[in-house]
Every structure is written in structure tokens, then in C-alpha cells.
Chains A and B, each alone.
Chain A
């Protein structure tokens, strides 16, 4: 069974640009969560989607958005990039709702110059 796949693995952007990251969950998983990992703030929850609906959202500005498609694949978008958005973005998938094991992808490393 294939794991969680994130693309691309690395991205370099400049301030003011926007970026879209992609996540393909494990087959059969309906929930996708996104996390940001930085040296200063650690791992922080961005949002979670289940059956195409955003169920939970972390404390991030509106520049961070996401969506989920009918096949459970998810994308997150960051508009008007800032230097502080440089981070490892991790996607995790799980089967259902509540207290499920989340399986993580390898992440997308975003560098904003």
C-alpha cells in the first residue's frame, strides 16, 4: 500500500508569490491534515479536511488555505508569501474521525527568498 505522497519535495519562491502544495493520502483514507514545521515554532496544525469539508483550522492567517477533492487528495495554498513562511509543510492522512493514527508524508520544503 502506497504511503502519503507530497509533491513537490522542494520549492523555492520569492516574497509576494503564491504557492500550491499537493498531498495524496493513503488509499481509503478520508481525512487529510496539514502541519507547518519551523525551527522556531515547531510543529503547528494548519487545517484538516474530511470528505471535502474543512473541519478544523489552526491559528494561521487567511493567506493559508486548502481544499480537498472527491478522491481525498488535498492541496494547500499560500498567497502573498512572506519570509516567515519558509518551513517544512507536512501532510498527514487518517481513516476517519477522531483519535485516529495519522500517517505522515515526507513533506514539502518551502524556501521563501
Chain B
């Protein structure tokens, strides 16, 4: 079946540290890949996406590259801020679409 595996959290970093959150997937077909972020008490916001192999999604300093050979879509940011503290979800969507499969989510805590 289709699934997404994320590194377990929480991840605790100091401000300005480098962030990596690992995400790997299993899918039949050619999925689109997404990172969503959820702040406390809110719904999900799209952070970035990639629709085919070797695509790089980027937004607000976050980046992720669609690696088909390693079935991965790791999230990175060069310098995190306290305001980046949230839960991050990796997800995939297949061609028949609009049915996201999510990872378990990774809690990120950034200390000042």
C-alpha cells in the first residue's frame, strides 16, 4: 500500500540551528509529495510541494527535493526561528488525487 514514514520527534533545536526532518515514502505510481505545517490550534498549511522526481520545493527558507531513487523527500532549513515551532507533516497524493496519505508528523521545538 501507500505510506509515508517520518522521523520521530520531538526535535528540539536552538535558534539559528540547521533543521532536517526525514521523510520516506512507499507508493504505487508516481505521487506528488508535500510538506504541511500545523501550528497549535490551527489546520494544516501547505509549506511546499514537488510533483516529479528531482523537483525541489521551497518556501520561507524551507526546501525539500523529490528523490525517486531513495523514495525520500527530506525537509531542510538552514537557520530555524522560534516561530518555526510547529508540527510538520510529510504527505503524498497519487494521480487520482485529492486523497492525501500523511506521515505521523514531527514536532519541532525551537528554543531562543
Q: Which residues of A contact B (CB under 8 A)?
A: 4, 6, 31, 33, 35, 42-45, 48, 50, 55-56, 58, 90, 92, 94, 97-107
Proximity string of chain B (81-112) to chain A, C-beta cutoff 8 Å, 1 when within and 0 when not: 00000000100011111111111110000000
Q: In the complex, what residue of chain A is closest to B41 when comparing beta carbons?
A: A106
Q: Does B61 contact A (CB under 8 A)?
A: no
The listed residue (A6, A90, A98) touching B98 by CB distance below 8 A is A98
Chain B interface residue count, CB cutoff 8 Å, equals 25
Q: In the complex, what residue of chain A is closest to B96 when comparing beta carbons?
A: A98
User: Contact between B98 and A106 (Cβ–Cβ < 8 Å)?
Assistant: no
Having A42-B102, A104-B44, one finds 15 other A-B pairs with CB under 8 Å, namely A4-B43, A33-B98, A33-B99, A43-B102, A48-B98, A48-B99, A50-B98, A56-B96, A56-B98, A90-B43, A97-B96, A98-B98, A99-B95, A102-B98, A106-B43
The docked-state distance in angstroms from the alpha carbon of A50 to that of B99 is 12
The docked-state distance in angstroms from the alpha carbon of A90 to that of B36 is 13
Q: In the complex, what residue of chain B is closest to A43 when comparing beta carbons?
A: B102
User: Contact between A45 and B100 (Cβ–Cβ < 8 Å)?
Assistant: yes
B38: min CB distance to chain A, Å: 9
- What chain A residues lie within 8 Å of B93 (beta carbons)? 99-100, 102
Q: Which residues of B contact A (CB under 8 A)?
A: 32, 34, 36, 41-46, 49, 51, 89, 93-105
The listed residue (A45, A92, A98, A101) touching B101 by CB distance below 8 A is A45
Q: In the complex, what residue of chain A is closest to B43 when comparing beta carbons?
A: A104
A62: min CB distance to chain B, Å: 19
The docked-state distance in angstroms from the alpha carbon of A4 to that of B42 is 12
The docked-state distance in angstroms from the alpha carbon of A97 to that of B95 is 8
